[in-house]
């Protein structure tokens, strides 16, 4: 895998260089340096799980056949398109959430010379994706399907972000709006489509599969997995170690519709509910500490552990019912990467 990761990072350098010399725009030294610095800061810094899983999935769909250099390059390029999409979402998301850190460093817009230029940088990141697809996939029979796929998933993610933002409207702090179905809807659209469905859909298209035919059952499993992944994220935001997860969790201060608060509301008595209403979404350390204390009183760590093992069993059952062994392998490899993760 480390060898694959090295090759994957080499493809990043190639794509970056192509974008910095894109004939559609006459770069100056300043603009080229800006874009290069912006890309290096925002695109390759994460765990790269989404990108690498395109190559992983493609490999598993090929059922152990050795991949050609061209196949490795193309599956890596699609993987990087997802990482570019993720960078675009995160750069803008951090501005919307007034976040301070991301992946263990200050958010891009927090850098002194960046500020609101980051909004346009987000737009640039988004526009790099069709440039990459056009250069490397234009002649492929699945080119239009790829464009469609990225456009659709971006639309679903933006809608997920919208329902997240309007549900957590500051100034209208109403916890009674929060429930498991609302949480699930936000998660499904905001995270699961681009993080789980998109990498596998890319690999299926590249291997010549018809998405319509293949994907309904696979899509459901992947969305379920994405939901489980986000619940883990919500849990780690509160209970994970900042030095491990690379950011300081702010879901409580930000009045987020987190799985933890939804569960807490479900398990609380009237007095505890009132206590939550008074302290959740307040930007002072004392209130945050009080909410965490209530989470501990309600034993949410145990509730999460039970949720985690039940979700795992349910997913394995779904996966093993799938007719294709190769697809089963793809789905199991995904689940293996996220089960009991610490960051």
CA distance 88 to 93: 8
Of 101-105, 134-138, 159-163, the least confident: 101-105
CATH number, domain 1-139, options 1.10.230.10, 1.10.600.10, 3.30.70.270, 3.65.10.10: 1.10.600.10
Fold: same for 1-139 and 143-342: yes
Pick the closest to residue 218 from 133, 311, 327 (CA basis): 327
Q: pTM for the complete prediction?
A: 0.91
Domain boundaries, the chain: 1-139, 143-342
Q: Residue 341, class by beta-carbon neighbours within 10 Å (0-12 exposed, 13-18 middle, 19+ buried)?
A: middle
* pLDDT band with cut points at 50, 70 and 90 for residue 98: confident
pLDDT of 1: 53
Tens-digit pLDDT profile for residues 277-321: 999 989 889 999 999 999 999 999 999 999 999 999 999 999 999
CA distance 311 to 328: 17
CA distance 193 to 328: 19
Higher pLDDT, 256 or 30: 30
8 Å CB contact between 136 and 47: no
Class of domain 143-342: mainly alpha
């Amino acid at each position: 895998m480390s060898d694959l990761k090295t090759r994957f990072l080499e493809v990043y350098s190639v794509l970056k260089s192509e974008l910095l010399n894109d004939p559609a725009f006459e770069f100056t030294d300043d603009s080229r340096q800006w874009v290069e610095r912006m890309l290096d800061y925002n695109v390759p810094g994460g765990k790269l799980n989404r990108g690498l899983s395109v190559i992983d999935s493609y490999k598993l769909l090929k059922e152990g056949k050795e991949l050609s250099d061209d196949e490795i390059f193309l599956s890596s390029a699609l993987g990087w398109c997802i990482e570019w999409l993720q960078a675009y979402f995160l750069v803008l998301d951090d501005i919307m959430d007034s976040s301070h850190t991301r992946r263990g460093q200050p958010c891009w817009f927090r850098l002194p010379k960046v500020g609101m230029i980051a909004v346009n940088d987000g737009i640039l990141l988004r526009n790099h994706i069709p440039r990459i697809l056009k250069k490397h996939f234009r002649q492929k029979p699945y080119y239009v399907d790829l464009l469609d796929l990225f456009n659709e998933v971006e639309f679903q993610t933006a809608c997920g972000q919208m329902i997240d933002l309007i549900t957590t409207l500051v100034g209208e702090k109403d916890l009674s709006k929060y429930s498991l179905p609302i949480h699930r809807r936000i998660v499904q659209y905001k995270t699961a489509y681009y993080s789980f469905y998109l990498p596998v859909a890319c690999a299926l298209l590249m291997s010549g599969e018809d998405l319509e035919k293949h994907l309904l059952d696979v899509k459901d499993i992947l969305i379920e997995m994405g939901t489980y992944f986000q619940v883990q994220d919500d849990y780690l935001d509160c209970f994970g170690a900042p030095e491990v997860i690379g950011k300081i969790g702010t879901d409580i201060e930000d009045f987020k519709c987190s799985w933890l608060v939804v569960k807490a509301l479900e398990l609380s008595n009237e007095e505890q509910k009132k206590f939550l209403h008074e302290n959740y979404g307040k930007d002072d350390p004392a209130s945050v500490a009080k909410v965490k204390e209530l989470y501990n009183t309600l034993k949410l760590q145990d509730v999460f552990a039970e949720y985690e093992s039940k979700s795992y069993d349910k997913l394995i059952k779904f996966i093993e019912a799938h007719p294709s062994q190769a697809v089963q392998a793809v789905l199991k490899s995904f689940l293996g990467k996220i089960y009991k993760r610490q960051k």
